[in-house]
Amino acid sequence: MQSFRTELENPLVEKDIIELEEKIRAFRNGTLHEDKFRSLRLARGVYGQRQQGVQMVRIKLPFGRLTTKQLLRIADISDEYSNGNLHLTTRQDIQIHHVSLDSTPELWAKLEQDDITLREACGNTVRNITASAVTGIDPKEPFDVSPYADAMFRYFLRKPFGQELGRKLKFAFSSNDEDTAYTFMHDLGFIPKVKIVDGQIVRGFKVLIGGGLGAQPFLAKTAFEFLEEDQLIPFTEAVVRVFDRHGERLSRHKARIKYLINKIGIEEFLKLTEEERLALNVKSYKIDREAVPSKEKYINSSFTTFKVSDDPVYKDWLVTNVFEQKQQGYYGVFIKISLGNINTTTARKLAEVVDTYATDDIRITVNQGLLLKFVPKGALPALFKALSKLGLAQIGFDSVADITACPGTDTCNLGISSSTGISKELERVITEEYPELQFNNDIKIKISGCMNSCGQHALAQIGFHGSSFKNGNNVVPALQLVLGGGVLGNGEGRIADKIIKVPSKRGPAVLRTLLDDFEKNAVEGEYFNNYYDKKGKDYFYQLLKPHADNSTLVADDYIDWGHTEQFKTEIGVGECAGVLIDLVATLIFEAEEKLDWAKNSLADGLYADSIYHSYAAIISSAKALLLDKSVPTNTHHGIINDFDKQYVETNEIKLKTTFKEFVLQINQNEPSKEFAENYLTEAIGFIEQAKTIRSKQTS
């Protein structure tokens, strides 16, 4: 691999990319262990695929915002390094697949030329900050949450305490109480609120904490009914620090913040966040409300090229895909993107359409579509025609016919049965057999390739996730049906119930049965979830039981959607948030590396960063010594307690106080220069003792 050096203005970005290249070289020549390398590349957006030898690269787009220049840059990158496809995700990222590992530093450097990052798009970090796509133009919003999401993204990017968490953290901002960003299913969710104080309007947020999807979904709990805007960043930093110290690190399935809160309780968790306040870098953080300006599109001509009555599809498109913004005279236009996949040729032409008819602020939606903003009313007919030529004027955005699905077995190691193949077939069933449902946005259908819910099936009124079962010596691709999920509003929601598992090829028949039953038996105006509650879980199990009858299996049931060969399960090791396997031999080395970072941060005046690096170095070396005694190191908190018992109380390590008091100076002091210097000096002394003990143990 040839050395690559960037010519970027930001030295931090350049350092990141150079480090990735150096680590790839070290991995290739065998001097960097695969597990350590995995952690590093994931935090830089490089994710292993189902197919050996290639990577998925996840491009981090805070709150789904994208300029036409950035879209063109990403299209160029996909053509040069990938297969000419852009995949829009439910986290408002863009993914490109089948990328060579050795190309990723150069690819990243080219993206950064248009202010696009890969940093912390994957791995055990603070992931992409998502938000309602309509924020800024939403007629129902108290205020635009885009600047707040932007501030949070920029504040936490590259923060030392957010780089090696036990698992990922996901944050979301909704634009109003309807909660279109699903805050109730996030580690932290924020819903904008205003109140009047002394005659002045004060902005703040309802804060939800501890939600999550995955194999075991949790609904978030309310941390605050109203948290003033200047406390948004400080509280979130405290949450990240508490999760870093107390979160599970050994069992990846129990390492999300939802399990920690479930274990210790919301009151205790919030108490711990309050204890972190002294150590925070900022106690109050002013948000720049103008950081993400809304720009109207000025058009000095008429684009009307036909009468509305000339095209009935245009009328339907206006109903399902267009809404009037809070800015009078302008319209938001949704674009339905099938399975979130758009090819680069279409993407480039779309950029031209946006430049002509809309403002330069495209938003990726959480259901894998796109939103154009500030389209003048007079431009709507011409925009419709332009999108029609690109195949992007399909009606029914966010309707029953707009199915959300993760890539599943197409590229993901964890995929069990095809999610994309069944999604295409179900959309065909709806548009051809139930076309009126393209105007129904009460029922959402979401599909995941496995139980981990990247397709958000647990949020759906009708959801499926990939599965399988054995019948004799053969394996049948299957779908687990779930029903009754959805948004209730203001941070509350419902988790779908598991109903029945059926062969994948019977998925369309299951959908027909559900829709026919609902149409026949629901009362006028009844919502699907109300009907589900009225009938009950067992009613639907009995209704669908014939579809699960294995005695009626035919040859086609053993073949998954989109395939011709007989099905077999090929599940690999997922990297959604792979926990780093502890390698005792490298932990002391890592501690020394972190000491160097602490020294560099101190020299640069970054006292809070220096303090955290010193803390991390202490924890890393203590962990190494505990592992040598086969003591479990599930959490930082556990390491701190166990180290006193194993090493301090036995006098193997000499400290002026307990290890707990020594290490937890980090949250007992302001992040000042004096404390940073003293803490670093003490950390160096501690690690020298640890190295001496380690050398004795291995001699």
Q: Is 584-698 a CATH 1.20.120.330 domain? A: yes
The answer on pLDDT for 585 being more than 80 is no
Q: What is the pLDDT of residue 696?
A: 75
Helix intervals (H) in 200-231: none
Residue in the block written with tokens 């149409």: 519
Are the C-beta atoms of 211 and 186 separated by less than 8 Å? Answer: yes
β-strand pairing of 330-335 with 445-448: unpaired
Distance separating alpha carbons of residues 456 and 463, to the nearest angstrom: 8
Q: What is the pLDDT of residue 486?
A: 97
443-to-162, 182, 401, 515, 531 alpha-carbon distances in Å: 37, 16, 9, 10, 12
Q: What is the pLDDT of residue 567?
A: 84
Q: How many CB atoms lie within 10 A of CB 201?
A: 10
The answer on pLDDT for 581 being more than 60 is no
Q: What is the pLDDT of residue 490?
A: 97
Burial 598-634 (b: 16+ CB within 10 A, else e): beebbeeebbbbbbbbbbbbbbbbbbbbbbeeebebb
Q: What is the pLDDT of residue 1?
A: 40
Distance separating alpha carbons of residues 362 and 255, to the nearest angstrom: 34
Q: What is the pLDDT of residue 695?
A: 77
With 0-12 / 13-18 / 19 or more C-beta atoms within 10 angstroms meaning exposed / middle / buried, residue 289 is middle
138-279 and 404-558 share one fold: yes
Architecture of the domain delimited by 404-558: 2-Layer Sandwich (3.30)
* Global confidence as pTM: 0.93
Architecture of the domain delimited by 308-389: 2-Layer Sandwich (3.30)
Are the C-beta atoms of 203 and 194 separated by less than 8 Å? Answer: yes
3-state SS, residue 644? helix
Mean pLDDT across 676-681: 97
Give residue-wise pLDDT tens across range 156-196. 999 999 999 999 999 999 999 999 999 999 999 999 999 99
Which residues, listed in sequence order, are joined to residue 326 by a DSSP beta bridge? none
- As a residue count, the chain comes to 699
Give residue-wise pLDDT tens across range 544-560. 999 999 999 999 999 99
Would you list the domain boundaries of the chain? 11-61+84-112, 138-279, 308-389, 404-558, 584-698
435-to-96, 316, 401, 427 alpha-carbon distances in Å: 32, 12, 8, 10
Structure-block tokens of residue 326: 């809070």
3-state SS, residue 188? strand
What is the side-by-side strand order in the sheet with 65-66?
A: 65-66, 362-364, 370-376, 330-335, 322-324
Architecture of the domain delimited by 138-279: 2-Layer Sandwich (3.30)
Of 394, 405, 390, 395, nearest to 344 by C-alpha is: 390
pLDDT band at 3 (very low <50, low <70, confident <90, very high): very low
Q: What is the pLDDT of residue 669?
A: 95
Helix intervals (H) in 492-630: 507-521, 528-535, 537-544, 584-603, 607-628
The residue ranking higher by pLDDT, 43 or 126, is 126
With 0-12 / 13-18 / 19 or more C-beta atoms within 10 angstroms meaning exposed / middle / buried, residue 176 is buried
Are the C-beta atoms of 45 and 107 separated by less than 8 Å? Answer: no
Q: Say which amino acid occupies 412.
A: C
pLDDT band at 662 (very low <50, low <70, confident <90, very high): very high
Give residue-wise pLDDT tens across range 396-410. 999 999 999 998 888
